[in-house]
Amino acid sequence: MKIFLDANICLDLLDTTRPTSKRSVAWYLANKDNEDYEFFFSADFITTFYYVLTEKRKHDAKETLHAIDMLSDEITPQYLTHIDFHNAKEYFFNDVFEDFEDLLILSSASRADSSQFITNDKKLLKLSHFQNINIVAP
């Protein structure tokens, strides 16, 4: 099963001082060694991770890059394509969901044939499904 992790889950794994981190880390540790699971995150989140961790949380830049590198070794970065943009734009204009950025990531997760999208985002959790993807909390 392919599991796509939202940015907030990955940030929880990278910065365990976040309020939702304990639950996200526990979920990931309980599932990461399951050979039936493949984990992905949007490669576009890398800039977000770096910015949040170095500018907002004041983590050391080199340590942050090392942590992101380790995360990328364990969880496969999925790069956005122009098709993801077109699909997200279509969903947005057809009122599937009001957040274009989330639709862009969900389109990428769908292209990766993900079965689950793990997030702490309350709006996404209310959506609960996108195409063949179940949207669930850790």
| Residue-wise pLDDT tens digits, 91-112 | 999 999 999 999 999 999 999 9
> Is 124 among the domain residues?
yes
Q: Which strand (E) or helix (H) includes residue 134?
A: strand 133-136
- Tokens 């880390």, residue located: 25
Q: Who contacts 51 (Cβ-Cβ below 8 Å, separation ≥6)?
A: none
Check residue 6 and give its pLDDT.
98
Check residue 8 and give its pLDDT.
97
What is the count of structural domains for the chain?
1
> Is 56 among the domain residues?
yes
> Is 112 among the domain residues?
yes
CA-CA-CA-CA torsion sign (39, 118, 43, 72): negative
Q: Which residue, 13, 27, 52, 20, is CA-closest to 116? A: 27
- The 10s digit of each residue's pLDDT in 57-92 is 999 999 999 999 999 999 999 999 999 999 999 999
Domain that holds residue 33: 2-133
